[in-house]
Amino acid sequence: MAKSELRGPSPLIVIRSLVYFVVFYIVTALYLVLGSWLLIGPRPWAMKGLEVHGRTCVWLLRLICGTKLEVRGHENLPKTGCLVISKHQSAWDTFGLISLFRDPAIVLKDELKWIPFYGWFCMKFEHILVKREKASAALKSMIRDARQRISIGREVIIFPEGTRTIPGAPPDYKPGYIALYEALGVVTVPLALNSGLFWPRRSPWRYPGTIVVEFLAPLPPGLPRAEFRSRIETAIETASTRLIDEAARSPSPPPLAQMNADAGAS
Protein backbone atom coordinates (compact mmCIF):
# COMPACT_ATOMS: atom_id res chain seq x y z
CA MET A 1 0.00 0.00 0.00
CA ALA A 2 2.89 2.35 0.69
CA LYS A 3 3.83 2.15 -2.99
CA SER A 4 0.27 3.03 -4.02
CA GLU A 5 0.33 6.07 -1.76
CA LEU A 6 3.67 7.21 -3.17
CA ARG A 7 2.41 6.83 -6.74
CA GLY A 8 -0.71 8.82 -5.99
CA PRO A 9 -3.94 8.60 -7.97
CA SER A 10 -3.95 8.02 -11.71
CA PRO A 11 -4.13 11.03 -14.05
CA LEU A 12 -7.72 10.10 -14.92
CA ILE A 13 -8.75 10.10 -11.26
CA VAL A 14 -7.01 13.44 -10.75
CA ILE A 15 -8.84 15.02 -13.69
CA ARG A 16 -12.22 13.58 -12.71
CA SER A 17 -11.73 14.64 -9.09
CA LEU A 18 -10.84 18.20 -10.01
CA VAL A 19 -13.80 18.46 -12.39
CA TYR A 20 -16.13 17.16 -9.69
CA PHE A 21 -14.60 19.52 -7.11
CA VAL A 22 -15.44 22.52 -9.29
CA VAL A 23 -18.89 21.26 -10.27
CA PHE A 24 -19.81 20.30 -6.70
CA TYR A 25 -19.08 23.75 -5.29
CA ILE A 26 -20.75 25.55 -8.18
CA VAL A 27 -23.89 23.42 -7.76
CA THR A 28 -23.87 23.85 -3.98
CA ALA A 29 -23.43 27.63 -4.27
CA LEU A 30 -26.29 27.84 -6.76
CA TYR A 31 -28.57 25.82 -4.49
CA LEU A 32 -27.70 28.01 -1.50
CA VAL A 33 -28.07 31.33 -3.29
CA LEU A 34 -30.94 30.59 -5.66
CA GLY A 35 -32.72 28.65 -2.95
CA SER A 36 -32.25 31.34 -0.32
CA TRP A 37 -35.94 32.23 -0.57
CA LEU A 38 -36.61 28.87 1.13
CA LEU A 39 -35.27 30.40 4.34
CA ILE A 40 -38.56 32.25 4.72
CA GLY A 41 -40.76 29.42 3.44
CA PRO A 42 -42.11 26.35 5.26
CA ARG A 43 -39.46 24.00 6.62
CA PRO A 44 -40.66 21.02 4.50
CA TRP A 45 -39.94 23.03 1.35
CA ALA A 46 -36.38 23.68 2.55
CA MET A 47 -35.95 20.00 3.41
CA LYS A 48 -37.05 19.05 -0.09
CA GLY A 49 -34.41 21.43 -1.46
CA LEU A 50 -31.82 19.73 0.76
CA GLU A 51 -32.88 16.34 -0.56
CA VAL A 52 -32.70 17.46 -4.19
CA HIS A 53 -29.23 18.92 -3.62
CA GLY A 54 -28.06 15.63 -2.10
CA ARG A 55 -29.49 13.55 -4.94
CA THR A 56 -27.91 15.90 -7.51
CA CYS A 57 -24.45 15.67 -5.95
CA VAL A 58 -24.65 11.88 -5.64
CA TRP A 59 -25.69 11.64 -9.30
CA LEU A 60 -22.88 13.96 -10.39
CA LEU A 61 -20.35 11.91 -8.41
CA ARG A 62 -21.39 8.81 -10.33
CA LEU A 63 -21.43 10.64 -13.68
CA ILE A 64 -18.05 12.36 -13.29
CA CYS A 65 -16.03 10.08 -11.01
CA GLY A 66 -17.71 6.70 -11.49
CA THR A 67 -18.60 6.48 -7.78
CA LYS A 68 -21.92 4.66 -7.40
CA LEU A 69 -24.19 4.28 -4.37
CA GLU A 70 -25.70 1.06 -3.01
CA VAL A 71 -28.17 1.09 -0.12
CA ARG A 72 -28.76 -2.06 1.90
CA GLY A 73 -31.27 -2.85 4.64
CA HIS A 74 -33.40 0.27 4.09
CA GLU A 75 -36.38 -1.79 5.28
CA ASN A 76 -34.81 -1.70 8.77
CA LEU A 77 -35.57 2.02 9.02
CA PRO A 78 -38.98 2.54 10.68
CA LYS A 79 -41.53 4.93 9.23
CA THR A 80 -41.83 6.72 12.57
CA GLY A 81 -39.47 8.83 14.66
CA CYS A 82 -36.31 6.90 15.50
CA LEU A 83 -32.68 7.30 16.50
CA VAL A 84 -29.96 6.49 13.95
CA ILE A 85 -26.39 5.86 15.11
CA SER A 86 -24.14 6.29 12.07
CA LYS A 87 -20.51 5.76 11.17
CA HIS A 88 -18.95 8.97 9.85
CA GLN A 89 -16.01 8.72 7.45
CA SER A 90 -16.46 11.45 4.88
CA ALA A 91 -17.93 14.81 3.96
CA TRP A 92 -20.06 12.73 1.59
CA ASP A 93 -22.14 11.60 4.58
CA THR A 94 -23.45 15.12 5.17
CA PHE A 95 -25.31 15.22 1.85
CA GLY A 96 -25.30 11.65 0.50
CA LEU A 97 -27.35 10.26 3.38
CA ILE A 98 -30.08 12.92 3.27
CA SER A 99 -32.27 11.38 0.57
CA LEU A 100 -32.32 8.02 2.41
CA PHE A 101 -34.49 9.47 5.18
CA ARG A 102 -37.99 10.93 5.38
CA ASP A 103 -37.20 13.98 7.52
CA PRO A 104 -33.74 13.80 9.11
CA ALA A 105 -32.53 15.97 11.99
CA ILE A 106 -28.75 15.67 12.27
CA VAL A 107 -26.75 16.34 15.42
CA LEU A 108 -24.10 18.92 14.39
CA LYS A 109 -21.64 21.23 16.09
CA ASP A 110 -23.16 24.62 16.93
CA GLU A 111 -20.42 26.70 15.29
CA LEU A 112 -21.65 25.62 11.85
CA LYS A 113 -24.57 28.03 12.21
CA TRP A 114 -22.22 30.99 11.70
CA ILE A 115 -21.36 29.94 8.14
CA PRO A 116 -23.32 32.21 5.75
CA PHE A 117 -26.17 30.42 3.96
CA TYR A 118 -25.04 26.94 5.09
CA GLY A 119 -25.46 27.75 8.76
CA TRP A 120 -28.69 29.61 8.14
CA PHE A 121 -30.08 26.56 6.38
CA CYS A 122 -28.92 24.28 9.23
CA MET A 123 -31.15 26.32 11.52
CA LYS A 124 -33.98 26.32 8.97
CA PHE A 125 -33.80 22.52 8.69
CA GLU A 126 -33.98 22.44 12.51
CA HIS A 127 -30.97 20.20 12.80
CA ILE A 128 -29.74 19.69 16.37
CA LEU A 129 -26.86 22.11 17.02
CA VAL A 130 -24.64 21.28 20.00
CA LYS A 131 -22.17 23.54 21.81
CA ARG A 132 -19.50 20.99 22.53
CA GLU A 133 -17.48 23.18 24.91
CA LYS A 134 -20.38 23.24 27.41
CA ALA A 135 -20.80 19.52 28.00
CA SER A 136 -23.56 19.39 30.63
CA ALA A 137 -25.71 22.16 29.16
CA ALA A 138 -25.09 20.84 25.65
CA LEU A 139 -26.30 17.37 26.60
CA LYS A 140 -29.51 18.73 28.11
CA SER A 141 -30.12 20.93 25.06
CA MET A 142 -29.43 18.04 22.68
CA ILE A 143 -31.88 15.77 24.48
CA ARG A 144 -34.55 18.47 24.60
CA ASP A 145 -34.23 19.21 20.88
CA ALA A 146 -34.08 15.52 19.96
CA ARG A 147 -37.29 14.82 21.88
CA GLN A 148 -39.04 17.59 19.98
CA ARG A 149 -37.84 16.21 16.62
CA ILE A 150 -38.91 12.69 17.55
CA SER A 151 -42.33 13.94 18.67
CA ILE A 152 -43.13 15.03 15.11
CA GLY A 153 -41.87 11.81 13.55
CA ARG A 154 -38.38 12.86 12.40
CA GLU A 155 -35.29 10.66 12.39
CA VAL A 156 -32.55 11.90 14.74
CA ILE A 157 -29.11 11.07 13.31
CA ILE A 158 -25.95 11.21 15.38
CA PHE A 159 -22.35 10.44 14.45
CA PRO A 160 -21.16 9.00 17.78
CA GLU A 161 -17.44 9.55 17.14
CA GLY A 162 -18.10 13.27 16.70
CA THR A 163 -15.91 13.66 13.63
CA ARG A 164 -14.89 11.89 10.45
CA THR A 165 -12.71 8.82 11.02
CA ILE A 166 -10.38 7.07 8.59
CA PRO A 167 -11.80 3.71 7.44
CA GLY A 168 -10.31 0.97 9.58
CA ALA A 169 -9.14 3.33 12.35
CA PRO A 170 -9.85 2.28 15.97
CA PRO A 171 -13.32 3.52 16.97
CA ASP A 172 -13.77 6.32 19.51
CA TYR A 173 -17.45 6.48 20.43
CA LYS A 174 -18.49 9.38 22.67
CA PRO A 175 -21.26 8.76 25.26
CA GLY A 176 -23.76 11.28 23.84
CA TYR A 177 -25.51 8.67 21.72
CA ILE A 178 -26.17 6.56 24.82
CA ALA A 179 -27.78 9.52 26.57
CA LEU A 180 -30.03 10.03 23.53
CA TYR A 181 -31.01 6.36 23.46
CA GLU A 182 -31.97 6.36 27.14
CA ALA A 183 -33.83 9.68 26.93
CA LEU A 184 -35.78 9.13 23.69
CA GLY A 185 -37.10 5.62 24.28
CA VAL A 186 -37.45 4.83 20.56
CA VAL A 187 -36.17 2.22 18.16
CA THR A 188 -32.49 2.73 17.32
CA VAL A 189 -30.97 1.83 13.95
CA PRO A 190 -27.20 1.31 13.54
CA LEU A 191 -25.80 2.55 10.22
CA ALA A 192 -22.55 1.32 8.64
CA LEU A 193 -20.89 2.70 5.51
CA ASN A 194 -17.64 2.84 3.57
CA SER A 195 -17.81 6.36 2.10
CA GLY A 196 -14.35 7.27 3.37
CA LEU A 197 -12.77 4.82 0.94
CA PHE A 198 -14.04 6.73 -2.08
CA TRP A 199 -14.22 10.27 -0.68
CA PRO A 200 -11.33 10.32 1.82
CA ARG A 201 -11.24 13.03 4.44
CA ARG A 202 -8.78 15.88 3.81
CA SER A 203 -8.17 14.66 0.29
CA PRO A 204 -9.32 16.10 -3.07
CA TRP A 205 -9.39 12.70 -4.78
CA ARG A 206 -12.64 10.86 -5.54
CA TYR A 207 -12.23 7.20 -6.38
CA PRO A 208 -14.48 5.06 -8.62
CA GLY A 209 -16.34 2.15 -7.09
CA THR A 210 -19.40 1.72 -4.90
CA ILE A 211 -20.20 3.56 -1.71
CA VAL A 212 -22.30 1.18 0.38
CA VAL A 213 -24.67 2.43 3.08
CA GLU A 214 -26.12 -0.35 5.23
CA PHE A 215 -28.97 0.02 7.70
CA LEU A 216 -28.48 -2.73 10.28
CA ALA A 217 -30.99 -4.59 12.44
CA PRO A 218 -32.78 -2.11 14.75
CA LEU A 219 -32.47 -2.29 18.52
CA PRO A 220 -35.50 -1.85 20.78
CA PRO A 221 -35.66 0.82 23.50
CA GLY A 222 -35.01 -0.05 27.11
CA LEU A 223 -31.89 -2.18 26.85
CA PRO A 224 -29.37 -1.97 29.73
CA ARG A 225 -26.71 0.64 28.98
CA ALA A 226 -23.77 -1.79 28.75
CA GLU A 227 -25.67 -4.17 26.47
CA PHE A 228 -26.85 -1.37 24.20
CA ARG A 229 -23.38 0.11 23.87
CA SER A 230 -21.83 -3.28 23.12
CA ARG A 231 -24.44 -4.21 20.54
CA ILE A 232 -24.37 -0.87 18.74
CA GLU A 233 -20.61 -0.57 18.53
CA THR A 234 -20.10 -4.22 17.61
CA ALA A 235 -22.76 -4.07 14.88
CA ILE A 236 -21.43 -0.85 13.30
CA GLU A 237 -17.75 -1.76 13.48
CA THR A 238 -18.24 -5.34 12.25
CA ALA A 239 -20.34 -4.21 9.30
CA SER A 240 -18.02 -1.32 8.44
CA THR A 241 -15.01 -3.66 8.44
CA ARG A 242 -16.90 -6.07 6.18
CA LEU A 243 -17.65 -3.24 3.74
CA ILE A 244 -13.98 -2.27 3.66
CA ASP A 245 -13.06 -5.90 2.95
CA GLU A 246 -15.62 -6.06 0.14
CA ALA A 247 -14.14 -2.97 -1.47
CA ALA A 248 -10.63 -4.40 -1.13
CA ARG A 249 -11.72 -7.46 -3.14
CA SER A 250 -13.12 -5.36 -5.99
CA PRO A 251 -11.27 -5.31 -9.35
CA SER A 252 -9.91 -1.80 -8.70
CA PRO A 253 -9.87 -1.25 -4.93
CA PRO A 254 -9.50 2.30 -3.60
CA PRO A 255 -6.17 2.90 -1.82
CA LEU A 256 -7.53 2.92 1.74
CA ALA A 257 -9.31 -0.42 1.19
CA GLN A 258 -6.11 -1.97 -0.14
CA MET A 259 -4.17 -0.52 2.79
CA ASN A 260 -6.53 -2.17 5.27
CA ALA A 261 -6.30 -5.46 3.40
CA ASP A 262 -2.49 -5.30 3.43
CA ALA A 263 -2.47 -4.46 7.14
CA GLY A 264 -4.74 -7.41 7.87
CA ALA A 265 -2.55 -9.76 5.91
CA SER A 266 0.68 -8.66 7.62
Q: What is the pLDDT of residues 1-31, one digit of tens each?
A: 333 444 578 999 999 999 999 999 999 999 9
- The CA distance from 184 to 163, in Å, is 23
Q: Which residues contact 114 (CB under 8 A, 6 or more apart)?
A: none
Is it the case that residue 263 has pLDDT exceeding 70? no
Angstrom distances, CA of residue 110 to CA of 96, 106, 143, 146, 163: 21, 12, 15, 15, 14
pLDDT at residue 123, as a whole number: 93
What are the residues facing 68 on neighbouring strands? 210
Angle between helices 176-184 and 135-151 (to 10 degrees): 40
Q: What is the pLDDT of residues 102-157, one digit of tens each?
A: 999 999 988 888 888 888 899 999 999 988 767 778 889 999 999 999 999 999 99
Is it the case that residue 266 has pLDDT exceeding 60? no
Is it the case that residue 264 has pLDDT exceeding 70? no
pLDDT at residue 114, as a whole number: 84
Written out in words, the top-level CATH class of the domain with range 2-265 is alpha beta
| CA pseudo-torsion sign 62, 93, 111, 32 | positive
Angle between helices 255-265 and 225-248 (to 10 degrees): 110
Percentage of the chain with pLDDT > 90?
A: 82
Q: What is the pLDDT of residues 202-220, one digit of tens each?
A: 899 999 999 999 999 999 9
**Residue 170 DSSP one-character state:** P
pLDDT at residue 259, as a whole number: 78
